[in-house]
Structure 1
């Protein structure tokens, strides 16, 4: 049995995407303690792991909800993203480290696993000499001479001029856009007695951890000639069975539509950026007169509150939630705000995408959709009905998008169980240096 401390931000997407990994570790007979926000106690306990709540000194009381819900800069763009990074991901680090220090003393973990953005878990393990792994719950953060900095939403640029562009953008992001977060996290490391690190702090995890477990596939990521050896692709984790769900009475309409050669389009609002005026309602309005069946989810909100009866088109069904793995095998296209798990699950099922928005980390996921050729990206956070309708028509009528999505599906099939692969990597990390607590 291995004692494993998991540390994650109190953000729905981060926890849900890590949940299959934690379940796999618990099922293997290992002792797992999961440190995160109090609002997620039931999710943690449901995995079989022990729950360790963030303390009030870390700004996470019992009523805490998603940290991103009230973060600045939710409108999107690089500047807004920088403000969110400072307030949510950097400033709380010292308080989180104090919490984790106490857990290390009492639990004596043989390995610490942090989500890719949870610097406190990495810093605490580094200070104590404990083997550690990062489990990524988003697109790859690693800086490279071949890519623009993470957070810009820019695809790779080839050749010498592209590398010059990337270097200049790296300087701009690190010294201007992310100047305050960069300075703040540098001061935090010094105050914790940790040595200084080079480069943009988004790439510090690759300098700190033993393994960086990237929960996607190489084909979803931009090529990097200088990818660190610590980065290992494990494939996406499967979110099947995380929530109780039964097929609704209207489910037979899907088979009827497919039998009549009517396209089936799935529209998802996501779990974090849930303003229906941005994506959901424009999509419903834009597709109301199309000869398609629209299946939409409201991000957990009551559909009657989101869409009034007089605005509800006959070709639309709206549910609070539908598991991706239930609906995606049945659809021809997904319209999404670009959540990491949803995008990967769609591509793993060979479903092309219309990706909408540039908030949070979604700009990077959506940029990869466009770069892969498996969909189109509508960059503005708030879309019009006409633009979504035109994008849906484009993807449905041009076979190249479906063909590319099918190619991606074949690539995903080479990674059949991301949670199992990630669990093996975590245990290998623990074994690589033995019990390391100083």
Structure 2
């Protein structure tokens, strides 16, 4: 029986393709799917068969043009400054606007389930106020505090012993503290919609029926425990609609795929150093700049083909190594293909993703300021040490098993089948479920 799903997303770069992949899968199963999104995403939404709906009061951005970005976190001088922009410009600051637009759409055309990027707390607030099942989508490794994992952000290894656990308790408190400045705006949005205040922004992320983690469980820490409403449903491996056709550099030398952020993160000089590094190695390079960087501005040696985009899933069938900023999408596609990585984190969640790649033995991490020589040495090491290939292939096997069925679609269809709204005692608002932990996720 066909159901109605209202999705909500924003111009968040790599978070968009996996969200729209889920929307497309539901549409292909005959459901009615609408997507509240920035106008810059409407062509991509429509390409997947869903109906695009524009935000009217919430922020509008376009990551293909740095001047039109909402976050502009590349202007921040510190990681805390970059975080503050996310808090104040997406998560908390415009929460009332996101809630207003979402409720207006739900009143005009009700939906059976609301599905939103987990960072859109205003949209999640609207779903809670409307009394319909709500699912949030996490398009990276689970980013919220839970036992068995260090605080998210610094890229620490898991704690060992009493001192390590003490480190985690102290640093988790410090990492949560900057959210306090976003609490007044969030609670104002909740009050405007007849909802009680929350004690912390972190609590608000848990006021959902399901938190679907679009990431391999095998990429996270083995002993980590998760709240009962969290489900690991596997990564989305589709390429974005704008990926284009595959063109490979000439020759039969090992192929190195290069992909930094699809948004602007001041990556042009890093791309140039990577291209220079590959010029010193007996390899072929396929360097994709993404929409935010003009490929004509990246000078490269003859063995490196520079292009704006390419379907990574197809390119990875030929690749021996991926060099990436450790964006979650590129990492999981590489691992799903059994391709080891050289990670060059630029910011955001990338240090965390890179740390997990390293701990899994499937790649190594370099500083974004690494010299061409150091980058070349890292690529050579990954190419010729078989352990990286072996561990990448191990993760590929686990990802294949995890994605053999579409768990995200199954979870969302199960939510849509609820006939009395929140008939399980208001999950997401139920203290017992919210605080309960399991070890499976």
Partners of 1:11 and 1:4 in 2: how far apart?
Answer: 21
* 2:321 is aligned with 1:337: no
Partners of 2:170 and 2:243 in 1: how far apart?
Answer: 49
Shift, 1:277, TM fit = 3.3
User: Unpaired runs of 5+ in structure 1?
Assistant: 258-262
Change (3 A) 1:386 1:412: same
Partners of 1:73 and 1:274 in 2: how far apart?
Answer: 9
The DSSP-based 3-state class of the residue aligned with 1:373 is coil
Partner of 2:238: 239
Partner of 1:414: 401
Partners of 2:371 and 2:182 in 1: how far apart?
Answer: 34
Q: 2:170 aligns with which of 146, 151, 168?
A: 168
Q: 1:356 aligns with which of 330, 335, 344?
A: 344
Map of 1:222-371 to 2, 5 A cutoff? 222-240=221-239, 242-243=241-242, 245-248=244-247, 251-253=249-251, 256-257=252-253, 263-300=254-291, 301-307=293-299, 312-371=300-359
Change (3 A) 1:202 1:337: farther
Change (3 A) 1:145 1:279: same
Shift, 1:44, TM fit = 1.3
Partners of 2:70 and 2:379 in 1: how far apart?
Answer: 29
Partner of 2:373: 386
Change (3 A) 1:296 1:93: same
The DSSP-based 3-state class of the residue aligned with 1:195 is coil
TM-score by length of structure 1 reads 0.88
The DSSP-based 3-state class of the residue aligned with 2:277 is helix
User: Unpaired runs of 5+ in structure 2?
Assistant: 427-441
Change (3 A) 1:51 1:431: same
Contact 2:11 2:62 in 1 (8 A): no
- Indicate the RMSD between aligned Cα atoms, in angstroms: 2.7
Partners of 1:412 and 1:169 in 2: how far apart?
Answer: 31
Partners of 1:432 and 1:223 in 2: how far apart?
Answer: 33
The DSSP-based 3-state class of the residue aligned with 1:412 is helix
Shift, 1:134, TM fit = 1.3
Contact 2:121 2:204 in 1 (8 A): no
* 2:414 is aligned with 1:428: yes
Q: 1:396 aligns with which of 343, 361, 383?
A: 383
- Which range moves more in the overlay, 343-352 or 290-299? 290-299
Partner of 1:26: 27
Shift, 1:63, TM fit = 11
Shift, 1:68, TM fit = 5.2
Change (3 A) 1:398 1:281: same
For residues 275-299 of structure 1, the C-alpha deviation after alignment (integer angstroms, 9 at most, x for no partner) is 3434211111122121221221121
For residues 140-192 of structure 1, the C-alpha deviation after alignment (integer angstroms, 9 at most, x for no partner) is 123113222222322321333322211111111122x4442355435544554
Higher helix share: 1
